[in-house]
Structure 1
Amino acid sequence: MSSILHVELAAEPAAAGRSRRVTGRWLTSLCGAEQPCATAQDLVLAVNEAVSNSAEHAYRGDPSGVVVLHGTADGPRVELEVSDHGRWRDPPADNGFRGRGLDMIEAVAEDVRVERGPRGTTVTFCGTLGQCSGTCEP
């Protein structure tokens, strides 16, 4: 499979499921395994959270919104980027039981960056895949 992943998703709830499937297949193919390893599963979780955030918050009901998922692999190092062209919404002072997406991404991925601007938001994060035989340990 290619060392590049690029998918454009409609900013709707189903985008998260599609992003999990395509990211999981791509990462598993990079590992050379039949099943996703622990590192790949963590990165799939991070993609799910970033795509879910964009789909839910960036466009505020605009049905034409798009979430872009882009991934590159350079050897065992994988970088994933989720971007939208919507508007950033500062989290409320009390999130209640919600608002943990970025914290989850930071817990399972490396080098997490969030860039907000007038043209949208981009969340970038990395992971290191190793020789997979059930686990992606470097």
Structure 2
Amino acid sequence: MRSVSDPDPDDDPPPVLHLRRRARLEDASALRKALVHWARAHRLSAALITDLELAVYEALVNSAEHAYPGDTEGSLDLHAHHEDQVVRVTVTDHGRWRPQPPPDPLRGRGVPLIHLLADHTDIAATEQGTTVTMTWQLSRHCAD
């Protein structure tokens, strides 16, 4: 029996996933689950899906925590695109990142982890928000 989270092998998944949710940790989790479902539908390798899930979740959580100071409400956009031999995922917030507190030895590993997991990462901060773009070359990742 197939679970709700398992893709139907007869379905042709859309090449693009685009979702917007509120910038809250529970919404970041919902976006992560939607990305994993989309990646499974594209039959990406389990190892690649794990890398996608962790890197993208780090970007989502960073945006939810840092882009909207205090009780400011905002949104997170998740955009994933699968084309030929490339998967590209962007996480965009529309807020302003607050100044970073003094270093905490238990925190601050999200961005280095994103760089480690993705084949290429670009972080672009503007007055209108921050976009984290993560790219994976499928030729570097074996299929299951």
Structure 2 gaps of 5+ residues are 1-12
CA distance in 1, matches of 2:72, 2:101: 24
CA distance in 1, matches of 2:120, 2:65: 24
Question: Quick one: which of 22, 30, 34 aligns to 1:10?
Answer: 22
Q: TM-score, normalised by structure 2?
A: 0.82
Question: Quick one: which of 108, 114, 129 aligns to 2:123?
Answer: 114
Residues 89 and 133 of structure 2 are in contact (CA less than 8 Å); yes or no, is this contact kept in structure 1? yes
Question: Quick one: which of 101, 125, 131 aligns to 2:134?
Answer: 125
How many Å apart are 1:16 and its aligned residue?
Answer: 2.1
The one-letter code of the counterpart of 2:27 is A
CA distance in 1, matches of 2:95, 2:22: 12
In structure 2, the residue matched to 1:133 is none
Q: Deviations over 1:27-67 (max 9, x none)?
A: 111126xxx61011101111100000111110113453000
Aligned length: 130
Q: TM-score, normalised by structure 1?
A: 0.85
Structure 1 gaps of 5+ residues are 131-135
CA distance in 2, matches of 1:70, 1:129: 18
Does 1:27 find its partner at 2:39? yes
How many Å apart are 1:99 and its aligned residue?
Answer: 1.2
- Structure that is richer in strand per residue: 1
Residues 16 and 51 of structure 1 are in contact (CA less than 8 Å); yes or no, is this contact kept in structure 2? yes
In structure 2, the residue matched to 1:59 is 68
